[in-house]
Structure 1
């Protein structure tokens, strides 16, 4: 292998089977820090909403846009940015995202109105999408093929750490400082990420053409209109307006698909779904994340309203989910590179469904261990599912399409989470006052459905072997 300089452009051939061990460690730390930067800041903002609303003299309902602006901007820009990353370089887009995240964090910290804060949070969401859209593609080129599962498992651990640390970090900061400091702490973390990433991230040679500007606009319009329309229906808003939004989103989606038909690197890579292995992995991930959000969003309501636990106690109990993810992800680092996703992901999703059913069958006055242990079981299974399924998506895409595959991995996650959140809102509104328990039923059903879909890969594999 030829010698490399830290900042040299590394060709696809060189990094096709991973970076050299000496550089890989720094690159892994840089990718992990960038991912933590995007996830941690999303999580800690939720805790500070009451203080932000009071300080900026905004209503509680209006302050939710501090969260929604981040989530919406991130989700709608994922695919255009994934396509852009293939052209300008995955490392370059990731580092640009870190710079933008730092700049928008300054804007958040200096906000004096809810409108300005929401705009700055939307910029943060865009920056987070720059990072998330190429995160999996970078992992693909950092690790050798035989060890890709380790890299994806590490990503899952970072996600769990971000979820677990978010409320804790927010609580510690707010105990000694005001809410703007939740955003000021991003500056040193971002600077460290830039320092490590500039010298170590793989500079894969750019391929494909620049994304079509009109196509990118159609993609943003489609996902924004569909998301807002579905969310409005779930909350019982004026149905005629929401149907117009859904129709506009559907029309934009159809126009985008038709416009990009035949392109080698489309913004919306629906052609990847023609490959059975990729399609099954994508749908399994999408349904699996719907199941997880049915649980994550509704469970705090269930613990508080149905079982009488305080908000503080509920937060502590919910950390069992993050710890379960971390524990199982560390175990699957080696297994996912040796055992097919059809086995590990299916077993993990089935275990998740069992955990949700166990939570649904809690006694009238459960103890903390009874609740926490069942949440841990569900999360442990979910951690088993994520890594091999994401690995199957990345290897299910042809060479040169890593950017599109990376974007679709994130779409399966954020799309599933968004659909789950919308479904929870509708369930809590329609099935009140037992909506929380109904959400657990739906979570178990979705996890079981995803397990069956995942297991179909094993059946298909045996059918091909029998016919060979």
Structure 2
């Protein structure tokens, strides 16, 4: 029956399979791109609404907070009520709120729309790979997971460049308008192609979901408030609440099979090290994305279009390197590739900081190309390691942990960049780039420790 297609044991028939998978790729790319493309518009939003640079960052902060706090609970809810239903609801919320953000007459309404849009994005990002397992035949599942992860990575990298072009030739509202269009297209096609999935006859663990949301939300909000409110009591209380919720969650789930927080996978050394390295890499990426528009436009005097073109060096290098990284991952240890890749990322960021302020467009683009090359060299092998080091029955949890590491890393990078720009005297937009280089270097060290680790069986 149209709209309620049941995923077969060996995938869906063509051409529905191709359309359903295209829906997944477009939706995942849209959610990931929306999370980073707004960074380029922050200086414009600051000027448009008459707010400070650090205040404008809340347009990014609230989106990330909503996604991170709801990602794991929504993934668990999908197992109970059906992944297709959660996914389509998320797509509609994502698209409608993007439209509301585009039409916002003031910054307060924009923040509200971005918050609700983040919950919609969480529905998309937490369910993607679960649906892929029903869409694709088992013989192509690994390749499909890799393509989905790479589409998200490329979208995250190319988002700022697209936003820069839109801002150069139109209003900032078009940055959100793109998500409205892609979200509605994905929801329309998905309504007729996405499969129904198996559901689990078990009650939803509201207590664990609340503890998970409280843990992630309090910790990330604590980091964010440091850059906006110089209130030690408030920040300290948020950190204490987050830590307490995390301890309570671990105690509650310690002996449970297939827990909402994947403690069973975290106990696998190569898995936990790879997740931690991913968190560092995305912290470095997002700290760069938040601060670089201010650095290029405010400090160096580049136009919005020039800033967007400079940003394009990162995704262009990433897209060119991704196939090479995939081939090298079959021949070299992921730890070595990750060490080299994140080392190159740190080097490219440091070059951006020390380069003279009279830099040309090309002079700023080639260090970003080094960053993109290094990021791709790290990400493909690292994603493969995270998914491959988990038992097959826990592949969904492994994908959720991968997405959580990416989003927590991006939120942490945003918070630290805001802190550096607003609270450190003389820091400006260059200090976050230094912090990003430090995170990349730490990730490189974590990555190389994985050498010699043996992956657990995938069955």
Instruction: Name the TM tier (shorter chain).
Output: 0.7 to 0.9
> CA contact under 8 A between 2:345 and 2:375: conserved in structure 1?
yes
TM-score, length-normalised on structure 2?
Answer: 0.85
**Residue 460 of structure 1: SS of its match in structure 2?**
coil
Map of 2:154 onto structure 1: 157
1:28 paired residue among 1, 21, 24: 21
Matched, 1:10 2:3: no
Report deviation, 1:31. 1.1
Map of 1:169 onto structure 2: 166
Distance 1:182 1:294 in 2: 20
> CA contact under 8 A between 2:168 and 2:304: conserved in structure 1?
no
1:132 paired residue among 122, 125, 137: 125
**Superposition pairs for residues 90-239 of structure 1, below 5 Å?**
90-109=83-102, 111=104, 114-139=107-132, 142=136, 143-145=140-142, 148-174=145-171, 179=173, 183=176, 186-201=179-194, 203-207=196-200, 209-235=202-228, 237-239=230-232
> CA contact under 8 A between 1:150 and 1:333: conserved in structure 2?
no
Deviations 1:291-320 (A, max 9, x none): 223333333444456545455533432232
**Superposition pairs for residues 410-429 of structure 1, below 5 Å?**
410-429=403-422
**Superposition pairs for residues 281-320 of structure 1, below 5 Å?**
281-304=274-297, 307-310=300-303, 312-320=305-313
> CA contact under 8 A between 1:354 and 1:444: conserved in structure 2?
yes
Map of 1:39 onto structure 2: 32
Deviations 1:118-147 (A, max 9, x none): 322211110011111122444566343366
Matched, 1:371 2:383: no
> CA contact under 8 A between 1:36 and 1:162: conserved in structure 2?
no
> CA contact under 8 A between 2:19 and 2:193: conserved in structure 1?
yes
> CA contact under 8 A between 2:285 and 2:410: conserved in structure 1?
yes
Report deviation, 1:86. 2.9
Deviates more, 1:363-372 or 1:299-308: 299-308
> CA contact under 8 A between 1:154 and 1:329: conserved in structure 2?
no
Matched, 1:342 2:335: yes
Distance 1:170 1:87 in 2: 42
Map of 2:248 onto structure 1: 255
Matched, 1:352 2:345: yes
1:409 paired residue among 384, 402, 407: 402
Deviates more, 1:375-384 or 1:444-453: 444-453
Distance 2:167 2:299 in 1: 27
> CA contact under 8 A between 2:164 and 2:307: conserved in structure 1?
no
Aligned residues: 451
Deviations 1:257-278 (A, max 9, x none): 2222322333322332111121
Distance 1:309 1:5 in 2: 51
Distance 1:111 1:304 in 2: 24
TM-score, length-normalised on structure 1?
Answer: 0.83
Deviates more, 1:116-125 or 1:307-316: 307-316
- Unpaired runs of 5+ in structure 2? none
- C-alpha distance 157-193 of structure 1, shift in aligned 2 (>3 A): same
Report deviation, 1:398. 2.3
> CA contact under 8 A between 1:139 and 1:152: conserved in structure 2?
no
Report deviation, 1:185. 5.2
> CA contact under 8 A between 1:157 and 1:329: conserved in structure 2?
no
Deviations 1:13-37 (A, max 9, x none): 534xxx6675443233111211233
- Unpaired runs of 5+ in structure 1? none
- Please give the root-mean-square deviation of Cα atoms over the aligned residues, in Å: 3.4
Map of 1:326 onto structure 2: 319
Distance 1:85 1:118 in 2: 27
Deviations 1:144-163 (A, max 9, x none): 33664344323322333334
> CA contact under 8 A between 2:95 and 2:179: conserved in structure 1?
yes
Report deviation, 1:279. 0.6
**Residue 433 of structure 1: SS of its match in structure 2?**
coil
Distance 1:52 1:304 in 2: 13
**Residue 6 of structure 2: SS of its match in structure 1?**
coil
Distance 2:13 2:152 in 1: 20
- C-alpha distance 357-222 of structure 1, shift in aligned 2 (>3 A): same
> CA contact under 8 A between 2:160 and 2:311: conserved in structure 1?
no
2:450 paired residue among 441, 449, 457: 457
Deviates more, 1:388-397 or 1:376-385: 388-397
